[in-house]
Amino acid sequence: MVVALIGGGARSGKSRFAREYAEARFSRLALVATAQPLDVEMQLRIARHRAERGPRWTTIEEPLDLVAAMGGQAGCFDVFLIDCLTLWLSNILLTPGREPAGEILRLVEGLAAGPPSILVANEVGCGIVPENELARLFRDLSGMLNRRVAEVAREVYWMAFGLPVRIKGGPVST
pLDDT tens, residue by residue, 92-127 = 999 999 999 999 999 999 999 989 999 999 999 888
49 labelled catalytic: yes
Which long-range contacts link 35-38 to residues 24+ away (Cβ below 8 Å)?
A: 35/63, 35/84, 35/87, 36/63, 36/87, 36/91
Q: Where are the domains of the chain?
A: 3-167
**What does the pLDDT average to over 140-163?**
96
Residue 172 has a pLDDT of: 59
Query: Residues 40-99: pLDDT tens digits?
Result: 998 998 888 888 888 999 999 999 999 999 998 989 999 999 999 999 999 999 999 999
Q: How far is CA 165 from the centre of its chain?
A: 17
Q: Give this prediction's pTM.
A: 0.92
Mean pLDDT, residues 12-27: 95
- The residue annotated as part of the active site, out of 9, 16, 46, 49, is 49
Nearest partner of 82 among 98, 93, 71, 95, judged by Cα: 71
> Cβ contacts of residue 13 below 8 Å, gap of 6+?
159, 162, 163, 164
CB contact set of 47 (below 8 Å; sequence gap of 6+): none
Architecture of domain 3-167: 3-Layer(aba) Sandwich (3.40)
